[in-house]
Structure 1
Amino acid sequence: MGLTLVQAWKEAKTRLEAAGIAGPVIDARLLVEAAAEATRVDIVTDPYRPLTAEQEATLADYLARREKREPVSHILGRKGFWKIMLQVTPDVLTPRPDTETVVEVALREFPEHAAWSVLDLGVGSGAILLSILAERPAARGLGVEASEEALAVARDNAAALGLAGRTALLRGDWTAGLADDAFDLVVSNPPYIADHVIETLEPEVRDHEPRLALSGGPDGLSAYRILAPEILRVLKPGGRFAVEIGYDQKDAVEALFREAGAEDVRTIRDLANRDRVVAGAKKPLETGA
Protein backbone atom coordinates (compact mmCIF):
# COMPACT_ATOMS: atom_id res chain seq x y z
CA MET A 1 0.00 0.00 0.00
CA GLY A 2 1.32 3.43 -0.98
CA LEU A 3 1.70 6.49 1.16
CA THR A 4 -1.33 8.53 2.10
CA LEU A 5 -1.29 12.32 2.02
CA VAL A 6 -0.81 12.62 5.77
CA GLN A 7 1.89 9.93 5.82
CA ALA A 8 3.70 11.60 2.94
CA TRP A 9 3.60 14.96 4.73
CA LYS A 10 4.88 13.51 8.02
CA GLU A 11 7.68 11.57 6.32
CA ALA A 12 8.67 14.58 4.24
CA LYS A 13 8.77 16.76 7.34
CA THR A 14 10.96 14.22 9.15
CA ARG A 15 13.39 13.99 6.23
CA LEU A 16 13.74 17.75 5.92
CA GLU A 17 14.18 18.17 9.67
CA ALA A 18 16.96 15.58 9.62
CA ALA A 19 18.62 17.49 6.77
CA GLY A 20 18.64 20.66 8.86
CA ILE A 21 16.25 22.54 6.58
CA ALA A 22 14.78 25.71 8.06
CA GLY A 23 10.98 25.70 7.93
CA PRO A 24 10.59 21.95 7.28
CA VAL A 25 6.85 21.91 8.03
CA ILE A 26 5.93 24.42 5.33
CA ASP A 27 8.43 23.06 2.81
CA ALA A 28 7.16 19.51 3.33
CA ARG A 29 3.56 20.60 2.79
CA LEU A 30 4.36 22.55 -0.36
CA LEU A 31 6.30 19.67 -1.87
CA VAL A 32 3.62 17.09 -1.01
CA GLU A 33 0.89 19.31 -2.42
CA ALA A 34 2.78 19.76 -5.68
CA ALA A 35 3.81 16.12 -6.05
CA ALA A 36 0.36 14.73 -5.16
CA GLU A 37 -1.59 17.44 -7.02
CA ALA A 38 -3.34 18.20 -3.74
CA THR A 39 -4.25 21.29 -1.77
CA ARG A 40 -3.77 22.21 1.85
CA VAL A 41 -7.48 21.51 2.35
CA ASP A 42 -7.07 18.03 0.85
CA ILE A 43 -4.42 17.14 3.42
CA VAL A 44 -6.82 18.14 6.22
CA THR A 45 -10.11 16.79 4.84
CA ASP A 46 -8.88 13.74 2.92
CA PRO A 47 -5.68 12.77 4.76
CA TYR A 48 -5.86 9.08 3.82
CA ARG A 49 -6.01 9.61 0.08
CA PRO A 50 -3.20 7.48 -1.37
CA LEU A 51 -0.50 8.81 -3.63
CA THR A 52 0.07 7.03 -6.91
CA ALA A 53 3.42 5.40 -7.56
CA GLU A 54 4.25 8.24 -9.94
CA GLN A 55 3.36 10.85 -7.31
CA GLU A 56 5.53 9.08 -4.73
CA ALA A 57 8.46 9.07 -7.17
CA THR A 58 7.96 12.78 -7.86
CA LEU A 59 7.88 13.55 -4.15
CA ALA A 60 11.05 11.52 -3.57
CA ASP A 61 12.80 13.55 -6.27
CA TYR A 62 11.57 16.85 -4.78
CA LEU A 63 12.77 15.87 -1.30
CA ALA A 64 16.19 14.77 -2.54
CA ARG A 65 16.63 18.13 -4.25
CA ARG A 66 15.49 20.05 -1.18
CA GLU A 67 17.88 18.06 1.03
CA LYS A 68 20.66 19.38 -1.23
CA ARG A 69 19.40 22.89 -0.36
CA GLU A 70 17.79 23.69 -3.69
CA PRO A 71 15.08 26.29 -2.97
CA VAL A 72 11.46 25.14 -3.05
CA SER A 73 10.73 27.91 -5.54
CA HIS A 74 13.22 26.41 -7.99
CA ILE A 75 11.96 22.88 -7.46
CA LEU A 76 8.35 23.89 -8.12
CA GLY A 77 9.09 26.71 -10.57
CA ARG A 78 6.79 29.16 -8.83
CA LYS A 79 6.50 31.40 -5.81
CA GLY A 80 3.65 33.37 -4.29
CA PHE A 81 4.30 37.07 -3.71
CA TRP A 82 1.87 39.72 -2.46
CA LYS A 83 -1.41 38.55 -4.05
CA ILE A 84 0.01 36.98 -7.21
CA MET A 85 1.74 33.75 -8.23
CA LEU A 86 4.97 34.08 -10.17
CA GLN A 87 7.02 31.77 -12.32
CA VAL A 88 10.51 31.51 -10.82
CA THR A 89 13.70 30.11 -12.33
CA PRO A 90 17.37 30.13 -11.29
CA ASP A 91 17.75 33.22 -13.51
CA VAL A 92 15.79 35.44 -11.11
CA LEU A 93 15.94 36.25 -7.43
CA THR A 94 13.26 34.32 -5.56
CA PRO A 95 10.71 36.91 -4.33
CA ARG A 96 10.69 37.25 -0.55
CA PRO A 97 8.05 38.49 1.86
CA ASP A 98 10.39 41.29 3.01
CA THR A 99 10.18 42.82 -0.46
CA GLU A 100 6.40 43.15 -0.17
CA THR A 101 7.18 46.21 1.97
CA VAL A 102 8.14 48.04 -1.25
CA VAL A 103 4.72 47.23 -2.70
CA GLU A 104 2.95 48.40 0.45
CA VAL A 105 4.77 51.74 0.38
CA ALA A 106 4.05 52.26 -3.31
CA LEU A 107 0.34 51.49 -3.01
CA ARG A 108 -0.04 53.92 -0.12
CA GLU A 109 1.34 56.72 -2.25
CA PHE A 110 -0.94 56.35 -5.28
CA PRO A 111 -4.76 56.13 -5.42
CA GLU A 112 -6.39 53.09 -6.96
CA HIS A 113 -8.00 54.61 -10.05
CA ALA A 114 -5.48 57.34 -10.95
CA ALA A 115 -3.48 57.00 -14.16
CA TRP A 116 0.21 57.05 -13.30
CA SER A 117 3.50 55.52 -14.38
CA VAL A 118 5.91 53.30 -12.46
CA LEU A 119 9.49 52.28 -13.24
CA ASP A 120 11.02 49.15 -11.70
CA LEU A 121 14.81 49.09 -11.91
CA GLY A 122 16.16 45.55 -11.81
CA VAL A 123 12.74 44.05 -12.44
CA GLY A 124 13.82 40.39 -12.14
CA SER A 125 10.75 38.13 -12.11
CA GLY A 126 8.49 41.18 -12.15
CA ALA A 127 7.41 40.67 -8.55
CA ILE A 128 7.27 44.31 -7.45
CA LEU A 129 6.08 45.85 -10.72
CA LEU A 130 3.39 43.26 -11.44
CA SER A 131 2.09 43.31 -7.86
CA ILE A 132 1.64 47.09 -8.10
CA LEU A 133 -0.02 46.96 -11.53
CA ALA A 134 -2.36 44.19 -10.39
CA GLU A 135 -3.63 46.51 -7.64
CA ARG A 136 -3.76 49.71 -9.71
CA PRO A 137 -5.69 49.08 -12.95
CA ALA A 138 -5.09 52.53 -14.44
CA ALA A 139 -1.31 52.44 -13.92
CA ARG A 140 1.29 51.50 -16.52
CA GLY A 141 4.80 50.27 -15.85
CA LEU A 142 8.27 49.82 -17.29
CA GLY A 143 10.68 47.23 -15.97
CA VAL A 144 14.41 47.48 -16.74
CA GLU A 145 16.70 44.49 -16.29
CA ALA A 146 20.28 43.67 -17.29
CA SER A 147 19.62 39.94 -17.68
CA GLU A 148 17.80 38.80 -20.83
CA GLU A 149 16.99 35.51 -19.09
CA ALA A 150 15.33 37.35 -16.22
CA LEU A 151 13.39 39.52 -18.67
CA ALA A 152 12.01 36.38 -20.30
CA VAL A 153 10.66 35.27 -16.91
CA ALA A 154 9.12 38.71 -16.30
CA ARG A 155 7.46 38.63 -19.74
CA ASP A 156 5.93 35.23 -19.02
CA ASN A 157 4.68 36.42 -15.64
CA ALA A 158 3.15 39.58 -17.11
CA ALA A 159 1.35 37.53 -19.74
CA ALA A 160 0.13 34.92 -17.26
CA LEU A 161 -1.31 37.64 -15.02
CA GLY A 162 -3.01 39.47 -17.89
CA LEU A 163 -0.79 42.51 -17.38
CA ALA A 164 1.29 42.44 -20.57
CA GLY A 165 -0.77 45.26 -22.09
CA ARG A 166 0.25 47.64 -19.30
CA THR A 167 3.81 46.38 -18.84
CA ALA A 168 6.84 47.29 -20.94
CA LEU A 169 10.09 45.44 -20.34
CA LEU A 170 13.49 46.67 -21.45
CA ARG A 171 16.97 45.20 -21.28
CA GLY A 172 19.22 47.94 -20.03
CA ASP A 173 21.68 49.31 -17.52
CA TRP A 174 19.56 50.93 -14.82
CA THR A 175 18.25 54.26 -16.16
CA ALA A 176 20.52 54.54 -19.22
CA GLY A 177 18.58 56.07 -22.10
CA LEU A 178 15.52 57.00 -20.05
CA ALA A 179 14.22 60.55 -20.25
CA ASP A 180 14.25 63.13 -17.46
CA ASP A 181 11.05 63.72 -15.45
CA ALA A 182 9.38 60.61 -16.93
CA PHE A 183 7.85 58.60 -14.06
CA ASP A 184 5.50 59.18 -11.14
CA LEU A 185 7.04 56.35 -9.11
CA VAL A 186 10.35 54.49 -9.18
CA VAL A 187 10.85 51.25 -7.26
CA SER A 188 13.83 48.94 -7.01
CA ASN A 189 15.22 45.97 -5.14
CA PRO A 190 18.86 46.34 -6.20
CA PRO A 191 21.70 44.00 -5.24
CA TYR A 192 22.86 45.11 -1.79
CA ILE A 193 24.93 42.31 -0.28
CA ALA A 194 28.61 43.11 0.20
CA ASP A 195 30.68 40.79 -1.94
CA HIS A 196 32.63 39.32 0.96
CA VAL A 197 29.38 38.38 2.71
CA ILE A 198 27.91 36.35 -0.15
CA GLU A 199 29.96 33.24 0.62
CA THR A 200 28.60 33.21 4.19
CA LEU A 201 24.95 33.09 3.09
CA GLU A 202 22.69 30.05 3.28
CA PRO A 203 23.30 27.56 0.44
CA GLU A 204 19.83 28.25 -0.96
CA VAL A 205 20.95 31.82 -1.70
CA ARG A 206 24.71 31.44 -2.19
CA ASP A 207 24.53 28.47 -4.56
CA HIS A 208 21.19 28.96 -6.33
CA GLU A 209 20.37 32.67 -6.65
CA PRO A 210 21.83 34.72 -9.54
CA ARG A 211 24.99 36.46 -8.36
CA LEU A 212 24.05 39.53 -10.43
CA ALA A 213 21.01 40.01 -8.17
CA LEU A 214 23.05 39.70 -4.97
CA SER A 215 26.38 41.46 -5.44
CA GLY A 216 26.36 45.02 -4.12
CA GLY A 217 30.08 45.60 -4.43
CA PRO A 218 32.69 45.86 -1.66
CA ASP A 219 30.34 47.54 0.83
CA GLY A 220 26.93 46.60 -0.61
CA LEU A 221 26.19 50.17 -1.66
CA SER A 222 27.45 50.26 -5.25
CA ALA A 223 24.00 50.19 -6.83
CA TYR A 224 22.62 52.94 -4.59
CA ARG A 225 25.45 55.31 -5.53
CA ILE A 226 24.31 55.01 -9.14
CA LEU A 227 20.58 54.89 -8.42
CA ALA A 228 20.11 57.80 -6.03
CA PRO A 229 20.86 60.63 -8.49
CA GLU A 230 19.45 58.72 -11.45
CA ILE A 231 16.14 57.95 -9.75
CA LEU A 232 15.78 61.65 -8.93
CA ARG A 233 16.56 62.48 -12.57
CA VAL A 234 13.88 60.25 -14.12
CA LEU A 235 11.18 61.05 -11.55
CA LYS A 236 8.61 63.70 -12.38
CA PRO A 237 8.64 66.69 -10.01
CA GLY A 238 6.82 65.56 -6.88
CA GLY A 239 7.28 61.91 -7.86
CA ARG A 240 7.97 59.22 -5.27
CA PHE A 241 10.51 56.43 -4.91
CA ALA A 242 10.86 53.30 -2.76
CA VAL A 243 13.96 51.07 -2.73
CA GLU A 244 14.71 47.96 -0.71
CA ILE A 245 17.81 48.01 1.50
CA GLY A 246 19.75 45.64 3.71
CA TYR A 247 18.87 45.71 7.41
CA ASP A 248 21.97 47.74 8.31
CA GLN A 249 22.03 50.21 5.39
CA LYS A 250 19.46 52.79 6.49
CA ASP A 251 21.79 55.67 7.30
CA ALA A 252 24.04 55.22 4.27
CA VAL A 253 21.22 54.92 1.72
CA GLU A 254 19.20 57.76 3.23
CA ALA A 255 22.31 59.96 3.02
CA LEU A 256 22.85 59.11 -0.66
CA PHE A 257 19.31 60.13 -1.55
CA ARG A 258 19.47 63.31 0.48
CA GLU A 259 22.73 64.23 -1.23
CA ALA A 260 20.99 63.65 -4.58
CA GLY A 261 18.32 66.18 -3.59
CA ALA A 262 15.49 63.94 -2.41
CA GLU A 263 12.89 65.22 0.02
CA ASP A 264 10.87 63.46 2.73
CA VAL A 265 13.49 60.68 2.95
CA ARG A 266 12.51 58.05 5.48
CA THR A 267 12.92 54.34 6.20
CA ILE A 268 10.07 51.86 6.62
CA ARG A 269 10.47 48.62 8.55
CA ASP A 270 9.27 45.20 7.42
CA LEU A 271 7.10 42.73 9.33
CA ALA A 272 10.17 41.45 11.17
CA ASN A 273 10.76 45.04 12.39
CA ARG A 274 13.94 45.42 10.36
CA ASP A 275 14.77 48.50 8.30
CA ARG A 276 13.73 47.47 4.79
CA VAL A 277 12.69 50.31 2.46
CA VAL A 278 14.05 53.83 1.96
CA ALA A 279 11.37 56.05 0.44
CA GLY A 280 11.13 59.70 -0.48
CA ALA A 281 10.21 62.20 -3.15
CA LYS A 282 11.56 64.53 -5.81
CA LYS A 283 11.03 68.19 -5.06
CA PRO A 284 7.82 69.43 -6.71
CA LEU A 285 7.81 72.34 -9.12
CA GLU A 286 7.43 75.67 -7.42
CA THR A 287 4.22 77.46 -8.29
CA GLY A 288 3.76 81.20 -8.41
CA ALA A 289 1.74 83.03 -5.81
Structure 2
Amino acid sequence: MVGNKLFTSPGEALEYLYNNRFGENRYVLGSKYWLEVQAMLLAVSALVVYFLLIIEKAWKKRGLLLCMFGVLVVFLSFTVTKSAILGFLLGFIVMNFYLFRKLSFKRQFLFVGGALVFVLSLTLLMDLNKYEERIHEVGIEVQNVREGKFVGGTVAPRLAFIKESFRHWDEFALWGLGVTTKHRIKAWYEASDLNIAVFNNVNNTFLQYWITAGLVGLAVMSFLFFAPLYRMIKRKRFSFLILSVLLVFLVVSNSCVTLSWANSRALMLIFLAMFYFYGDMFSQLENDIPQEEKPSI
Protein backbone atom coordinates (compact mmCIF):
# COMPACT_ATOMS: atom_id res chain seq x y z
CA MET A 1 0.00 0.00 0.00
CA VAL A 2 2.74 2.47 0.85
CA GLY A 3 5.94 0.78 -0.35
CA ASN A 4 9.18 1.28 1.57
CA LYS A 5 8.02 4.68 2.85
CA LEU A 6 6.41 2.86 5.76
CA PHE A 7 9.96 2.29 7.07
CA THR A 8 11.78 5.36 5.79
CA SER A 9 9.01 7.91 6.43
CA PRO A 10 6.17 6.45 8.56
CA GLY A 11 4.40 9.78 9.00
CA GLU A 12 4.25 10.41 5.26
CA ALA A 13 3.11 6.82 4.64
CA LEU A 14 0.25 7.12 7.13
CA GLU A 15 -0.77 10.49 5.67
CA TYR A 16 -0.86 8.84 2.25
CA LEU A 17 -3.20 6.15 3.59
CA TYR A 18 -5.50 8.75 5.13
CA ASN A 19 -5.64 10.70 1.89
CA ASN A 20 -5.93 7.82 -0.58
CA ARG A 21 -6.38 4.29 0.76
CA PHE A 22 -9.84 4.34 2.37
CA GLY A 23 -10.90 7.94 1.89
CA GLU A 24 -13.16 7.28 -1.09
CA ASN A 25 -15.38 4.71 -2.81
CA ARG A 26 -13.37 1.90 -4.45
CA TYR A 27 -13.98 0.02 -7.70
CA VAL A 28 -13.61 -3.75 -7.28
CA LEU A 29 -14.16 -6.18 -10.18
CA GLY A 30 -16.07 -3.53 -12.09
CA SER A 31 -18.43 -2.66 -9.22
CA LYS A 32 -18.38 0.24 -6.77
CA TYR A 33 -17.45 -0.62 -3.18
CA TRP A 34 -18.87 2.14 -1.05
CA LEU A 35 -16.79 3.90 1.59
CA GLU A 36 -19.57 3.67 4.19
CA VAL A 37 -19.73 -0.10 3.71
CA GLN A 38 -15.96 -0.47 4.02
CA ALA A 39 -16.05 1.45 7.28
CA MET A 40 -19.06 -0.46 8.64
CA LEU A 41 -17.41 -3.84 7.97
CA LEU A 42 -14.22 -2.67 9.69
CA ALA A 43 -16.22 -1.47 12.71
CA VAL A 44 -18.16 -4.74 13.03
CA SER A 45 -15.01 -6.83 12.54
CA ALA A 46 -13.19 -4.86 15.23
CA LEU A 47 -16.02 -5.42 17.73
CA VAL A 48 -16.21 -9.15 16.97
CA VAL A 49 -12.44 -9.51 17.41
CA TYR A 50 -12.63 -7.54 20.66
CA PHE A 51 -15.35 -9.90 21.91
CA LEU A 52 -13.17 -12.90 21.05
CA LEU A 53 -10.32 -11.20 22.90
CA ILE A 54 -12.55 -10.98 25.99
CA ILE A 55 -13.62 -14.63 26.03
CA GLU A 56 -10.29 -16.14 24.89
CA LYS A 57 -8.22 -17.74 27.69
CA ALA A 58 -5.01 -18.69 25.87
CA TRP A 59 -2.51 -15.82 26.11
CA LYS A 60 -0.91 -16.47 22.72
CA LYS A 61 -4.29 -16.24 20.99
CA ARG A 62 -5.09 -13.16 23.03
CA GLY A 63 -1.93 -11.53 21.72
CA LEU A 64 -2.89 -12.32 18.13
CA LEU A 65 -6.43 -11.01 18.66
CA LEU A 66 -5.09 -7.84 20.25
CA CYS A 67 -2.93 -7.20 17.18
CA MET A 68 -5.90 -7.86 14.88
CA PHE A 69 -8.05 -5.47 16.89
CA GLY A 70 -5.42 -2.75 16.74
CA VAL A 71 -5.02 -3.09 12.97
CA LEU A 72 -8.78 -3.00 12.38
CA VAL A 73 -9.21 0.13 14.52
CA VAL A 74 -6.34 1.88 12.74
CA PHE A 75 -7.79 0.95 9.34
CA LEU A 76 -11.21 2.18 10.51
CA SER A 77 -9.60 5.48 11.43
CA PHE A 78 -8.22 5.75 7.90
CA THR A 79 -11.77 5.92 6.53
CA VAL A 80 -12.55 9.09 8.53
CA THR A 81 -16.20 7.97 8.20
CA LYS A 82 -18.13 9.54 11.06
CA SER A 83 -21.14 7.19 11.14
CA ALA A 84 -19.08 3.97 11.32
CA ILE A 85 -16.62 5.45 13.82
CA LEU A 86 -19.51 6.69 16.00
CA GLY A 87 -21.22 3.29 15.77
CA PHE A 88 -17.97 1.56 16.71
CA LEU A 89 -17.39 3.86 19.68
CA LEU A 90 -20.91 3.28 21.00
CA GLY A 91 -20.53 -0.49 20.58
CA PHE A 92 -17.10 -0.37 22.20
CA ILE A 93 -18.52 1.45 25.23
CA VAL A 94 -21.28 -1.17 25.57
CA MET A 95 -18.75 -4.00 25.27
CA ASN A 96 -16.46 -2.47 27.87
CA PHE A 97 -19.33 -1.94 30.28
CA TYR A 98 -19.82 -5.70 30.15
CA LEU A 99 -16.10 -6.42 30.48
CA PHE A 100 -15.62 -3.99 33.36
CA ARG A 101 -18.28 -5.76 35.43
CA LYS A 102 -16.39 -9.05 35.09
CA LEU A 103 -13.08 -7.78 36.45
CA SER A 104 -11.71 -7.49 39.96
CA PHE A 105 -10.72 -4.06 41.26
CA LYS A 106 -7.05 -4.70 40.45
CA ARG A 107 -7.82 -5.79 36.91
CA GLN A 108 -10.20 -2.88 36.48
CA PHE A 109 -7.32 -0.54 37.32
CA LEU A 110 -5.01 -2.33 34.86
CA PHE A 111 -7.74 -2.31 32.25
CA VAL A 112 -8.23 1.46 32.52
CA GLY A 113 -4.46 1.96 32.30
CA GLY A 114 -4.20 -0.26 29.25
CA ALA A 115 -7.12 1.52 27.58
CA LEU A 116 -5.46 4.90 28.14
CA VAL A 117 -2.19 3.63 26.64
CA PHE A 118 -4.10 2.23 23.65
CA VAL A 119 -5.96 5.52 23.05
CA LEU A 120 -2.72 7.48 23.38
CA SER A 121 -1.04 5.18 20.85
CA LEU A 122 -3.89 5.72 18.39
CA THR A 123 -3.64 9.48 18.73
CA LEU A 124 0.06 9.27 17.89
CA LEU A 125 -0.62 7.08 14.84
CA MET A 126 -3.71 8.80 13.48
CA ASP A 127 -3.74 11.96 11.41
CA LEU A 128 -5.81 14.06 13.82
CA ASN A 129 -5.77 17.00 11.42
CA LYS A 130 -8.19 15.07 9.23
CA TYR A 131 -10.62 14.73 12.13
CA GLU A 132 -10.24 18.40 13.03
CA GLU A 133 -11.06 19.28 9.43
CA ARG A 134 -14.15 17.05 9.48
CA ILE A 135 -15.35 18.52 12.79
CA HIS A 136 -14.83 22.02 11.41
CA GLU A 137 -16.75 21.10 8.23
CA VAL A 138 -19.64 19.68 10.25
CA GLY A 139 -19.77 22.82 12.40
CA ILE A 140 -19.99 25.01 9.30
CA GLU A 141 -22.70 22.80 7.76
CA VAL A 142 -24.80 22.85 10.94
CA GLN A 143 -24.59 26.64 11.00
CA ASN A 144 -25.54 26.82 7.32
CA VAL A 145 -28.57 24.58 7.89
CA ARG A 146 -29.70 26.76 10.79
CA GLU A 147 -29.59 29.71 8.40
CA GLY A 148 -31.62 27.78 5.83
CA LYS A 149 -28.67 27.09 3.50
CA PHE A 150 -28.18 23.40 2.75
CA VAL A 151 -24.55 23.65 1.66
CA GLY A 152 -21.93 20.96 2.37
CA GLY A 153 -21.09 17.32 1.81
CA THR A 154 -21.95 15.58 5.09
CA VAL A 155 -24.72 16.76 7.40
CA ALA A 156 -26.41 19.30 5.11
CA PRO A 157 -27.28 16.96 2.21
CA ARG A 158 -28.58 14.23 4.53
CA LEU A 159 -30.91 16.67 6.26
CA ALA A 160 -31.89 18.02 2.85
CA PHE A 161 -32.71 14.48 1.61
CA ILE A 162 -35.11 13.96 4.50
CA LYS A 163 -36.69 17.41 4.21
CA GLU A 164 -37.21 17.17 0.45
CA SER A 165 -38.53 13.59 0.67
CA PHE A 166 -41.19 14.53 3.21
CA ARG A 167 -42.35 17.34 0.96
CA HIS A 168 -43.67 14.46 -1.20
CA TRP A 169 -45.15 12.56 1.73
CA ASP A 170 -48.47 12.12 -0.06
CA GLU A 171 -46.79 10.12 -2.85
CA PHE A 172 -45.19 7.36 -0.77
CA ALA A 173 -46.59 7.43 2.78
CA LEU A 174 -48.91 4.42 2.48
CA TRP A 175 -47.98 2.27 -0.50
CA GLY A 176 -44.57 3.53 -1.60
CA LEU A 177 -43.33 4.15 -5.12
CA GLY A 178 -42.21 0.62 -6.06
CA VAL A 179 -39.95 0.28 -9.09
CA THR A 180 -40.19 4.00 -9.86
CA THR A 181 -38.50 4.99 -6.59
CA LYS A 182 -35.07 5.88 -7.96
CA HIS A 183 -36.49 7.94 -10.83
CA ARG A 184 -38.99 9.78 -8.63
CA ILE A 185 -36.35 10.60 -5.98
CA LYS A 186 -34.02 11.84 -8.72
CA ALA A 187 -36.81 14.07 -10.07
CA TRP A 188 -37.53 15.43 -6.58
CA TYR A 189 -33.91 16.31 -5.98
CA GLU A 190 -33.34 17.84 -9.40
CA ALA A 191 -36.31 20.15 -8.85
CA SER A 192 -35.33 20.92 -5.25
CA ASP A 193 -33.99 24.22 -4.00
CA LEU A 194 -31.81 22.45 -1.41
CA ASN A 195 -28.68 21.87 -3.53
CA ILE A 196 -29.08 18.07 -3.91
CA ALA A 197 -29.65 17.66 -7.65
CA VAL A 198 -26.74 15.23 -8.12
CA PHE A 199 -28.15 12.61 -5.69
CA ASN A 200 -30.69 9.83 -6.27
CA ASN A 201 -31.16 8.11 -2.89
CA VAL A 202 -32.03 9.38 0.58
CA ASN A 203 -28.93 7.98 2.34
CA ASN A 204 -31.13 6.41 5.03
CA THR A 205 -32.09 2.73 4.92
CA PHE A 206 -35.37 3.11 6.79
CA LEU A 207 -36.59 6.10 4.76
CA GLN A 208 -35.42 4.53 1.48
CA TYR A 209 -37.47 1.37 2.02
CA TRP A 210 -40.41 3.42 3.29
CA ILE A 211 -40.41 5.37 0.03
CA THR A 212 -39.98 2.15 -1.98
CA ALA A 213 -42.58 -0.09 -0.29
CA GLY A 214 -44.63 2.23 1.90
CA LEU A 215 -45.54 1.26 5.43
CA VAL A 216 -44.82 -2.40 4.61
CA GLY A 217 -41.21 -1.53 3.70
CA LEU A 218 -40.74 0.54 6.84
CA ALA A 219 -42.22 -2.28 8.94
CA VAL A 220 -39.89 -4.88 7.37
CA MET A 221 -36.79 -2.73 8.01
CA SER A 222 -37.86 -2.02 11.57
CA PHE A 223 -38.53 -5.72 12.18
CA LEU A 224 -35.09 -6.77 10.88
CA PHE A 225 -33.26 -4.39 13.19
CA PHE A 226 -35.41 -4.49 16.30
CA ALA A 227 -36.57 -8.12 16.40
CA PRO A 228 -33.27 -9.33 17.96
CA LEU A 229 -33.55 -6.62 20.61
CA TYR A 230 -37.20 -7.49 21.30
CA ARG A 231 -36.29 -11.17 21.60
CA MET A 232 -33.56 -10.42 24.13
CA ILE A 233 -35.92 -8.30 26.22
CA LYS A 234 -38.69 -10.90 26.07
CA ARG A 235 -36.39 -13.79 27.04
CA LYS A 236 -34.35 -11.66 29.47
CA ARG A 237 -31.13 -12.98 27.97
CA PHE A 238 -28.92 -10.14 26.83
CA SER A 239 -25.80 -10.25 24.71
CA PHE A 240 -23.46 -7.28 24.71
CA LEU A 241 -21.96 -8.40 21.39
CA ILE A 242 -25.40 -8.32 19.77
CA LEU A 243 -26.11 -4.89 21.23
CA SER A 244 -22.73 -3.59 20.04
CA VAL A 245 -23.09 -4.79 16.45
CA LEU A 246 -26.71 -3.62 16.27
CA LEU A 247 -25.53 -0.14 17.26
CA VAL A 248 -23.08 -0.11 14.34
CA PHE A 249 -25.79 -1.28 11.91
CA LEU A 250 -28.32 1.27 13.19
CA VAL A 251 -25.99 4.26 13.12
CA VAL A 252 -24.58 3.51 9.66
CA SER A 253 -28.00 2.62 8.22
CA ASN A 254 -29.29 6.03 9.27
CA SER A 255 -26.60 7.75 7.22
CA CYS A 256 -26.61 5.57 4.06
CA VAL A 257 -28.67 2.87 2.32
CA THR A 258 -26.62 -0.12 3.48
CA LEU A 259 -29.29 -2.74 2.77
CA SER A 260 -29.69 -1.48 -0.79
CA TRP A 261 -26.08 -2.34 -1.67
CA ALA A 262 -24.87 -5.85 -2.41
CA ASN A 263 -21.57 -5.04 -0.67
CA SER A 264 -23.26 -5.14 2.73
CA ARG A 265 -26.67 -6.75 2.31
CA ALA A 266 -25.67 -10.40 2.76
CA LEU A 267 -23.46 -9.80 5.79
CA MET A 268 -26.03 -7.65 7.59
CA LEU A 269 -28.87 -10.12 6.97
CA ILE A 270 -26.75 -13.05 8.15
CA PHE A 271 -25.84 -11.22 11.35
CA LEU A 272 -29.43 -10.11 12.01
CA ALA A 273 -30.70 -13.65 11.41
CA MET A 274 -28.09 -15.13 13.77
CA PHE A 275 -28.96 -12.56 16.41
CA TYR A 276 -32.64 -13.47 16.21
CA PHE A 277 -32.56 -17.26 15.84
CA TYR A 278 -29.41 -17.95 17.87
CA GLY A 279 -29.36 -15.01 20.28
CA ASP A 280 -29.28 -17.35 23.28
CA MET A 281 -25.97 -18.83 22.10
CA PHE A 282 -24.34 -15.39 22.13
CA SER A 283 -25.61 -14.63 25.63
CA GLN A 284 -24.48 -18.08 26.80
CA LEU A 285 -20.94 -17.42 25.54
CA GLU A 286 -20.82 -14.32 27.70
CA ASN A 287 -22.44 -15.91 30.74
CA ASP A 288 -20.00 -18.83 30.67
CA ILE A 289 -17.13 -16.49 31.56
CA PRO A 290 -16.62 -16.80 35.33
CA GLN A 291 -16.92 -13.50 37.15
CA GLU A 292 -13.89 -12.71 39.26
CA GLU A 293 -14.35 -12.31 42.96
CA LYS A 294 -13.83 -8.76 44.09
CA PRO A 295 -11.90 -8.18 47.31
CA SER A 296 -14.01 -7.30 50.31
CA ILE A 297 -13.43 -3.87 51.82
TM-score range, shorter chain: under 0.3
Structure with greater helix share of residues: 2
TM score, norm. by length of structure 2: 0.23
Question: Which one has more relative contact order, counting CA pairs under 8 Å at least 6 apart?
Answer: 2
Structure with greater strand share of residues: 1
